[in-house]
Structure formats: C-alpha cells, structure tokens
Chain A
Amino acid sequence: MASILAVDDSASMRQMVSFALKSAGHEVIEAEDGQKALDLAKSKAVNLVITDVNMPRMDGITLIRELRALPSYKFTPILLLTTESAPEKKQQGKEAGATGWLVKPFNPDQLLATINKVLG
C-alpha cells in the first residue's frame, strides 16, 4: 500500500504509529527527529509524512517547511501530531504547509481513519 514516514522522538509513540500503520498494510519508515526524517525523505519518496512537533535537532514545523521546499514533496500529504494544549501549533503547521493534523492522544483506529482521508 502506501509508504509512510513516521517521525516522533518518542519510541513508544513511534512504535504504536508504526505498528498500526503496518497492520493496515502500509510500509513504514521511522525517524526520531526532523533532521533524520528530512534525510530519509530525500533519499526515498514516501506517500505520506506523519510528524510530531517537539523534537530535538529539527522540530516538526521546520521539517514541514523543509519538505515543502523539495520538489518531490510539494503535494505530499503531511500530517502533524499536535496536542490539545497547543492549538497555535496547528496554525503554525498549516502555515508551514501541513495538510492536516491529528490531535494527541489518539488511538490506532483514529490514526488509521485520519490517514485514510489523505491517502489514495
């Protein structure tokens, strides 16, 4: 199915996201920070990027901005994982070029429902 880049500095979140996506038949690449994600994204085109906001080295907002500047990621859906306590991040994400967002906490089913909105 789709190849998805999951970016989060928290290993447990990454595991959960990755597990849910894989069990839905997607191919998942994981990255633990924005910089790593950017490097991976450059080396391999993916169909969807799901990224956390707060990460070391490069945060999610910067990652989105950097990805959108790449020709191959001009139209790729990018979802931001935000928390309810930081509504301004949605706006910042949008401005950076995010397609949409997913509010933490979410469960695997909610995650899959959301990515189906942008895949295919």
Chain B
Amino acid sequence: MSIDVSQFHQTFFEESFEGLDIMESGLLELDDRTDPETINAIFRAAHSIKGGSATFGFNEVATFTHAMETLLDEMRDGRRTADRATVDVLLKAVDCLRETIAALRDGKTADMEQAREIQAQMETLLGQATAVQDVSATPVQNGDGVKGQPQTWEIVFKPRAHLLQTGNDPARLIRELEQLGALKVQVNDSALPPLDQMEPERCYLSWRMRLGGPLDEAAIREIFEWVEDDCELDIHPLTPQPAAAERKSEARKEYTGGKPASDGTAAQPRKTAAKDSGSIRVSIDKIDHLINMVGELVITQSMMGNLDGGFEDFDVNRLEKLREGLALLERNTRELQESVMRIRMLPISFVFSRFPRMVHDLSQQLGKKVHLEMSGEQTELDKTVMEKIGDPLVHLIRNSIDHGIEPPEARLAAGKPEAGTVLLHAYHKGGNIVIEISDDGAGFDRDKILRKAKEKGLVEEEAQLPDDKIYELIFQPGFSTADTVSDVSGRGVGMDVVRRNIRELGGNVEVNSRHGQGTTFSIRLPLTLAILDGQLVKIGDETFIIPLVSIVESLQIKPEYVNSIAGRPQLYKLRDEFIPILCSHRIFNLGSAPRSLSNGLLVVIEGSGHKAALYVDELLGQQQVVIKSLETNFQRVAGISGATILGDGTVALILDVEGLVHLARQQGEIDESKSIRAVA
C-alpha cells in the first residue's frame, strides 16, 4: 500500500509556523530568566519540525533544524548557557526557517544561501566544523535486500523471564522468522516449573531453531532487535559464511537510518494548491455552541410546524403559541448570528505575539531598554480586522520606542527607571474593541508640534489651539517631528497612513499625551466588518444606510445658514464651521432635487478628517445590517460601499462616507473661493 504523504503537508506547515512562534517567544523569554519548561517547549518545537520535515521529505529543513535541536538540547541539559550570541543565532534561525517553510508552502524554491550561513554559525557554536549529519539522507537498505548464499542458520533463543512484560511475544518473533525462510522449531521446556509454582507472567521456555534460505545474519538479528537485551541469543551458520559477521553491524545501522518519506521529491517545488487558502482554526467550543443553536432552531421550527393544522380552526390559543414561537425564533436567529460571527473571531494574541520580538530587536538597534507589557491578549477580534490592524500597530509601537521612550541616560536623568515600558492593552467596550498603546516616555512636546505645524503651513501662524487639537496634528500627512530621520521611523510617512488604515476598518484612533510622562494611543475598532451599525435614511424614494460611526450629528436645516451659489446650496454654517452640502438627490440621480431644503434634514458625516453635510429627506431607524459586497455581486460604485438586505426584503445601499466627503471636497474646490467670499 502506498500513501501519498503530501496530503499532510498543509498540517505540517501550519504546525511548523505555530512551533516557530513558540520558539520565538520562548527564546525571547530566555533573555531574562531561564525556566526549564521554556527551553523544553522550544526544544520540542524544533524537534517536531525536524521530525515532520524529515518524514514529509523536506530534507533541507530537517538538516537545518537538526543543528538547532542539538544546540537546544545542550541548553536543556545545562551543558550550554542561554547567552546572547546563542539566542540571537537561534532567533535568526527561526526567521530563516519561517521563510524556508513559507517558500515550500507556496511552491517556491527556498533561498538556502542564508540557511547555510546560519547553519554554519550554529555549527561554529556547536564546535563542530564538519557538516551536521544529514538525518534523512541515509538510504534505506533492508536486511533482506542483501542476498546471502543459500545456507542454514541455527538460532538459539532463550528469553529472560520478564520478556512478556515488555509486550514482546516469542510466538510473534518466531512467526516473523518463518517468513524469512524454511523454519524448524524445537522448544525447550526444561525450565518449566511444576504447575503450582508457575507464575503465568513469566517466560520459562526457550527455543532452538533452524532457518534455511538465502539470507544473512543481519536480517535475523533485526527480528530480535527489540529483545536483544531481554534474551540470550545465539545465531550461527551451520555452514560457515565469513562475511556475515562484518556485515552485521553495518546492516543494523542501515535499518535505523530509515528512509526519506518521499524520496527525490524534496527538491521539487511543492504544489501551489497548498497556498494559504484563507482557512482559520476554530475552537471546538465555538462549533459546539453553533450546533447547539442549530438544534434550538430545529426545535423551534418543529414547534411552529405543529401549529400548522389548517386555519379553519385557528383560535386565540394558537395565536399565542405562534407569537411565542416567533419570539423564540427571533432569539435563536440572533444567537445563531452571534455564534457564526464568533467563528471569524480570533484572539488578538495572533497580532500581539509578534511584538515581543519586534521590541527586543528594536530596543537593541536603538540602544534603549524597553519592557513590553501586554494584557487582554485573549480579546477576540474579526479575522479580517485583525489582518489589517497589524501594520498600524507595528507603526505605533515603533513610534513609541523610537520617539517616545528616551535613551537610558535621559531616563535616569529624568528620575525614571532605566528601562521604559510600552503597554499594549486590548479590551472590549460596547460593540467595539479598544487597543491602547501607551509608553512612559517623553510624551509630546506641544510647542514643538505647533512650531512644526506652522512651518509646514498646517495651521495659521498666530493660531491658538487646545492640546488635543495640537496632538491631532501628528495625523496630518507629511508631519514628523523627529529631529533625525532614523532607520526605525520618522520618515514622515506614517501617522496619516495609520489613521487612514484604521478608518478604513471603520475605526478611529485618538492620542493623549503628557509632556515628560508618556503617550497613549487608543484605537477603537468595530468587532467585525461583516456587520455594521447603520442609520437608515430616506432619500427620494430610496432607503440608504449611513454607518453610525461616521455620523457626527443630524440637524434640521435653518435656511439662514445655507449659502447658495447659482441657486444651488453649497455650504452650511454649522456654529463656526462651513461645511459643504452634498445634494444626495443629484449625486445618486434620484430625480430632481427638492426646491427648498427646509423640508429635509442634514446629516453631518465625517471621513478622512473632513466633514460634509448630506441632505436627506427623512431619518428612519437605526439597525445592525449585514454588509454585502457590491463589487463581488455587481461593480464598484462611487459613493457606495456596499449593500444590505432589509427586513422587508428590499435592498438598501450603504453609503461610503469617505468617498462622499472626498466628492464634496472636489465639488467644493471649484467654487470654494467664490463661496467663502460670498459668506464673508
């Protein structure tokens, strides 16, 4: 029977990546204190990757991990200390391995240049100049493959009394011998005690056997390999064969060498089918819960089904039951929806886990001492949101370490502990998840930011701004206060991109800082991208949905605040701001615009830091809507981000606030100068 081992590759890749993560976080922990279980866990991870890679034919990975494993084994046994040099090489090895395995998964050829270099470093540490033995390169050669001359062997097999208790059975051994050739067995029962003294768990018998056929001693010895310490064994040819004794040890070694699982295929590119198919791991709990919910639903359904007995004898009693059933159905549906949503949720530790390494590397690179603390790693977040929040978080943490945390001398001079702390905290708040990144560093220098903003012309020369408005400035495109452009951050691209990315996820980022005490960034994100809280509005005869998060306020129109140009309303004076008015009828081509605005309402929306006022005819209710992609089902439409199906079965479009604000600005730019003059 032949089994295609490539079907296990995907699992192997997945668990290897997990193992690498364990190794990485474990190695980072080794810096401080050495807990034996930590080293054990790292060792096991390396060991599993080695075992798996050899089994599944990734010999280059197996050879590489073998060196890692040996280093770790020495650390585990206390023969080697977890010094900086060793840990750093191992961390590099982890990175290299991750790339190699990713390349294998994607069917690309791995870059072995770097691997060889790191392997050489590990071998230097191991103090062995010779290449590490290739664990799986030994070709297999079964003992019976070696042709011996036809002859007869005599085998004397005397098991020790405890043989049976090792799970071995003389009968099985003899049966196996029988398969090698013609076997004659003679049992010796002379050691058998009288029945009343016999212990049934002991082995009293011994055997003398004659085995004939073209075979050599190694093949016979192999059968007894597991019991050689539990028996007296004498194997000798009845006709002399001089070569046998020499070959014996050699062939034994060949057996243990094993065979590469799928020989020859290792160097070939893997199937690309193994590429990340966008799968997620879901805990059994969640699935079970889901199944429970479906069970409930089925019960409710059958309960409702019982009511269906024709309507001629429909009475109040039944109506009551029907109402009950509907209420139950509503609850089931809601819970089912929640359960299904939970499937997409992963603990945020998936993102957080990469930060200890990053902080470790960064602090070394910058010569700072930084301690990273994380909490709320188990807070769950939608997978899509998770994937997209990684980069903004990386950026914010880099910033905290680069700009926030001071060098050790400066910290000591300021009366702070030498090592700075970066705190990463995630928690649920309402329907949102909040991620806070705080540091106890220098904090923002408001004067410096203001000066810079004035230099760049972002604010008026004589403007007086409250602190929070000043801190907001760092999110402006092209804004950077770093004195020197470092390798890590401070190229002036960044904070604006961070904010844009977070806003694209329907979230928001706020900053709070105290000079000399530190800075806190708070990111608020929706739990999922699949559902949003929406405000239903009526424009013409159509219902549209505006994401609740982007609505600043809704107001009734006071005609005296509307500034019209050429008969078209252009700007609305909201307190001391002028906001462009978006005539929704015109944008969406919904018949003629109403002559007077006073019948409708303005919904002030905010996107990309700019506001616009959307004219709507009516405000309807608020509700959670499930977002359906318009692009996959139809095509991209400017100003529309998606669609949803309402309770009555009609389709409602969801407005793309960013897009609309952009549209408003474009339209505004043309007449801006004019309109402002008109206002003045």
Contacts and interface: CB of A to CB of B under 8 A. Distances in A.
Contacts of B69: 85
Given A56-B41, A99-B166, A106 B176 contact: no
B258 A84 contact: yes
Interface in A19-53: 19-20, 23-24, 52
A9 B258 contact: no
Interface string B272-302: 0000000000000000000000000000000
Given A12-B11, A55-B44, A68 B3 contact: no
Q: Say what secondary structure dominates the interface of chain A.
A: mixed
Contact of A105 (B47, B164, B259): B259
B5 A108 contact: yes
A75 B167 contact: yes
Given A12-B8, A13-B48, A13-B52, A23 B3 contact: yes
Contact of A56 (B7, B44, B70): B44
A60 B261 CA distance: 23
B1 A112 contact: yes
Interface in B404-459: none
Contacts of A84: 135, 256-258
B641 interface: no
A54 interface: yes
B471 interface: no
A13 B44 CA distance: 14
B168 interface: yes
Main SS class of interface, B? helix
> Which of A10, A11, A74, A110 lies at the interface centre, i.e. has the most chain B CB atoms within 10 A of its CB?
A10
A103 B3 CA distance: 18
B528 interface: no
Q: How large is the interface on A (under 10, 10 to 19, 20 to 34, 35 or more residues)?
A: 35 or more
B226 A107 contact: no
A105 B62 contact: yes
Contacts of B50: 83
B282 to A, nearest CB: 15
A15 interface: yes
Contacts of B47: 54, 83
Contact of A101 (B66, B136, B226): B226
Most buried by B among A13, A94, A97, A118: A13
Contacts of B262: 107
B3 A9 contact: no
A78 interface: yes
B12 interface: yes
A2 to B, nearest CB: 13
A10 B14 CA distance: 10
A3 interface: no
B8 A16 contact: yes
Contact of B11 (A15, A94, A107): A15
Contacts of B229: 94
A107 B258 CA distance: 9
A97 B166 contact: yes
Given A97-B166, A112-B1, A117-B176, A12 B12 contact: yes
Nearest to A95: B229
Nearest to A102: B258
A12 B56 contact: yes
Interface string B171-210: 0100010000000000000000000000001000000000
Contacts of A104: 51, 54-55, 258
Contact of B136 (A81, A105, A108): A105
Nearest to B37: A56
Contacts of B226: 94, 99-101
26 contacts: A9-B44, A11-B14, A12-B11, A12-B15, A12-B56, A13-B55, A15-B11, A16-B55, A20-B3, A52-B51, A54-B48, A56-B40, A56-B41, A75-B165, A77-B168, A83-B47, A94-B166, A97-B165, A101-B226, A103-B256, A103-B258, A104-B55, A105-B54, A105-B258, A107-B5, A118-B172
Interface of B: 1-3, 5, 7-9, 11-12, 14-15, 40-41, 43-44, 47-48, 50-52, 54-56, 62, 66, 69-70, 135-136, 164-169, 172, 176, 201, 223, 225-226, 229, 256-262
The 6 closest A-B pairs by CB, nearest first: A99-B167, A100-B226, A105-B54, A12-B12, A77-B167, A108-B3
